[in-house]
Every structure is written in C-alpha cells, then in structure tokens.
Amino acid sequence: MTTLTPDASVRVRDLRKQYVVHEKEPGFLGSLKGFVNRKTRAVEAVRGVSFDLAPGEVVGFLGPNGAGKTTTLKMLSGLLHPSGGEVRVAGFEPRRREAAFLKSITLVMGQKQQLLWDLPALDSFLVNQAIYEISDAQYRETMREFTDVLDLGGILKKQVRKLSLGERMKCELAAALLHRPRVLFLDEPTIGLDVNMQESVRAFIRDYNERYGATVILTSHYMADVTALARRILVIDQGQLVFDGDLARLAGQSRGGKTIRLQLRQPVTAAQLAHYGSAIRVDGLSAELTVPRAEVSARAARLLADLDVADLTVEDPPIEAVMAELFGRKEIVSG
Ligand SMILES: Nc1ncnc2c1ncn2[C@@H]1O[C@H](COP(=O)(O)OP(=O)(O)OP(=O)(O)O)[C@@H](O)[C@H]1O
C-alpha cells in the first residue's frame, strides 16, 4: 500500500449548519408582500455533530432524506461554511479552501457532474491534470491503473453525452480521483446504476482505498454499497448523530429479533412454522422466520427436535430492515 501523506484524518467537533430560508406566500400577491415584508425561517440542518476518522478508514454515512448528510459533506469539503463547530480534514481547515487542501480531497456527488458534456472524458481529464498540476508521469500511471480497474478502454474518447449513466459515472470517478486525493467524500456514487455497475464502482473504491490508504466517507441509499465497503457506520437523523459504531453492532440494535433460516428434508407449511415464530418466507423445503432475540436458542432447539431439519442458521436482520426500524420509515432500499 502506498500511503499518500501521513495525515489523512478527519476531526469534526460540534459541527453545525443553519440555513436561512425566505418564506413566500403563493401567487403574485405573495411575491408583492415578500418585497415589503420579507419573512425568514431558520433550518437547523446539522446540529452539533462530532466524530473522528483515522487515516485509511472507510465509513458509511447513513440517514433518511433530509437528515443532513450532504450538508455535512459540503462543510467537510469546504463548499459550505459551518455556522459553528470545528473541522479539520487532512490537517486543513476546509473553509479556507487552500490549494494544498483541494489537492488532498475530492467530493463526488452522484447527482452532479463535472465532466464536460460535449467533449470526450479524456479532455476533462487533461483539464484536471492542468488544474491539479499532475506531472505527465503520474498522469500516465494513474490513467493506466484507472483504465484497468474501471475498464475505461473503449469509452474515454466518446463524447460524454453519448455515454451510458454507468459509463459516465466511472469517468466521473476517474476524473475526481486523478489527482490521488487522500480523503474521499462520496455522496451517492452509485445512484441510479444497475447492479453490475454498482459492483464495479464499489470494487474501484475498495481498490483505491487499499492502494493509497485513503480515508473514505460514503453516503448511499444502497445498503449493499455500505455493507461491502464500510465496517464503521455513522447514522445521522435530523442533523444529529444517532449511531457511531460497528456495522454488526448496528444490526444488533434491532428490537425486531433474529432471522432463522431453515433447509428441510420434508416440506412444511406456514401454519406449521407459525408455532415457532413469524414466518417471513416458506418455499417448500426452505423457510425463514423471525424470532425474538431472547428466544433464539429455545426456538432453534424446538425446530431441530420437531422438524426434519437439514440445515439451520441464525442471522441478524438485513441492515436495511434495521435502518427502516430506526427511522420508522421504509425508504432505505437495498442494492
Ligand atoms: N441550500 C439550502 N437551503 C435551505 N435548506 C437546505 C439547503 N440545503 C439543504 N437544506 C435543508 O437542510 C436539511 C438537510 O439537507 P441535506 O441535503 O443535508 O440532507 P441529506 O441527508 O443529504 O438528504 P438526502 O438523503 O435527501 O440527500 C433538509 O431539511 C434540507 O431541506
């Protein structure tokens, strides 16, 4: 592993962001009133967030819509000034946007693009080479590596507007990482991509992290991204951190019990399984049921004694179910 520079850490203390929004009544009359008597309202988007990331750490940053994830990432990359608190990223204060800081980080937003639409991606790469003052030797080496991992071969010379969404996203990532940043802020980097493309983007992020020891904060609505890449999870809700810890511990937060997965030698019915727990799926010789945490051993023992079981496994519920339960909503989707 080539470590880019010694300090790729992130330190956040009591970070806050308040947006002031102007309120306007609907219609023309509302606009006129607004001229005379302008009403404003404060939106507390981030309310005292603190965490530390060690160099090389990959962290999943999760939360429901409007929780404050993008606002936090924008403050960490210096695009937004915090209303309060402290941030240090790779030893810099992001809001100052010093050249050395900008060369150390990248912010990738899946919903925004930086590539020039009418030109081939290669031209945007050359622009970035000039902006970030990348030597020809490093440019060639990085391009070779990215072309290989992201399979960019046939697409670099095509007009960006003619690329598929997945191809464009791969080029966006390559452009954003060409200067070999040591801290990566990735906001929904796989949004809208099909499952295969999501997997290539994940593999690229994993490879970059391992190769350069880069620190990564990743937001995604696809839980598969997070479970594949991050061991530590930060969960934000209504501008506050509500969880900071191990992915496995997050799964353990569920009050909903554990899942028992069964392989049987004789088919069972849902009605039979109802004696042991709530059946999630019954499909001839295989079945899944949820049982209360405290009862797992007793119920598993009864299943083994009563039914002709070929295999039995006990698992934590899928992480998206835990998140949906934490927020009481069903909006976290699985990739
Ligand atoms: N420029 C802005 N002006 C006013 N309010 C804003 C602005 N940007 C975001 N907000 C508000 O701040 C809160 C946090 O928004 P943010 O975009 O950070 O959330 P998020 O967690 O990234 O959500 P999502 O998952 O939907 O992208 C929301 O209530 C949002 O409406």
Residue 92, amino acid: F
> Between helices 165-177 and 121-131, what is the axis angle to 10°?
20
pLDDT digits (tens, 9 = 90+) for 280-323: 788 889 999 888 888 999 999 999 999 999 999 998 777 777 77
Contact 15, 82 (CB under 8 A): yes
Candidate from 20-34, 195-209, 256-270 with smallest mean pLDDT: 20-34
pLDDT digits (tens, 9 = 90+) for 42-91: 999 999 999 999 999 999 999 888 999 999 999 999 999 999 999 999 99
What residue owns the CA closest to ligand 1's atom 10?
Answer: 45
Q: How far apart are CA 50 and CA 84, in angstroms?
A: 12
pLDDT digits (tens, 9 = 90+) for 176-213: 999 999 999 999 999 888 888 899 999 999 999 999 99
71: Cβ below 6 Å to ligand 1? yes
Determine which helix (DSSP H) or strand (DSSP E) holds 288, and give its type and residue range. Answer: strand 286-291
Report the separation in Å between the CA atom of 170 and the middle of ligand 1, taken as the mean of its atom positions: 26
What's the pLDDT at 329? 53
Query: How many angstroms separate the Cα of 37 from the Cα of each of 26, 29, 114?
Result: 14, 12, 39
pLDDT band at 154 (very low <50, low <70, confident <90, very high): confident
Q: Which of 19, 72, 238 to mutate to test the pocket of ligand 1 (most atoms within 8 A of CB)?
A: 19
Q: Which of 21, 49, 69, 112 to mutate to test the pocket of ligand 1 (most atoms within 8 A of CB)?
A: 69
59 phi/psi in degrees, rounded to 5: -125, 135
Q: Which atom of ligand 1 is nearest to the CA of 20?
A: 4
282 phi/psi in degrees, rounded to 5: -130, 125
pLDDT exceeds 90 at position 253: no
Runs of H (alpha helix) within 180-257: 195-212, 223-229, 247-252
pLDDT digits (tens, 9 = 90+) for 81-134: 999 999 999 999 999 999 999 999 999 998 888 899 999 999 999 999 999 999
Domains (ranges, CATH) in the chain? 47-251 (3.40.50.300), 255-315 (3.30.70)
User: How many residues does this entry show for the chain?
Assistant: 335
70: Cβ below 6 Å to ligand 1? yes
pLDDT exceeds 60 at position 334: no
What residue owns the CA closest to ligand 1's atom 6?
Answer: 19
pLDDT exceeds 50 at position 3: no
Report the separation in Å between the CA atom of 100 and the middle of ligand 1, taken as the mean of its atom positions: 28
Is the sign of the CA dihedral 140, 141, 142, 148 positive or negative? Answer: positive
DSSP class of 83? S
67: Cβ below 6 Å to ligand 1? yes
pLDDT band at 328 (very low <50, low <70, confident <90, very high): low
Report the separation in Å between the CA atom of 322 and the middle of ligand 1, taken as the mean of its atom positions: 23
Residue whose token pair is 């302008």? 38
65: Cβ below 6 Å to ligand 1? yes
What's the pLDDT at 182? 95
> Between helices 121-131 and 136-150, what is the axis angle to 10°?
140
Report the separation in Å between the CA atom of 65 and the middle of ligand 1, taken as the mean of its atom positions: 8
More confident residue, 278 or 229: 229
Q: Which atom of ligand 1 is nearest to the CA of 17?
A: 12
SS3 of residue 116 by DSSP: coil
Contact 10, 52 (CB under 8 A): yes
The structure's pTM equals 0.83
What's the pLDDT at 56? 95
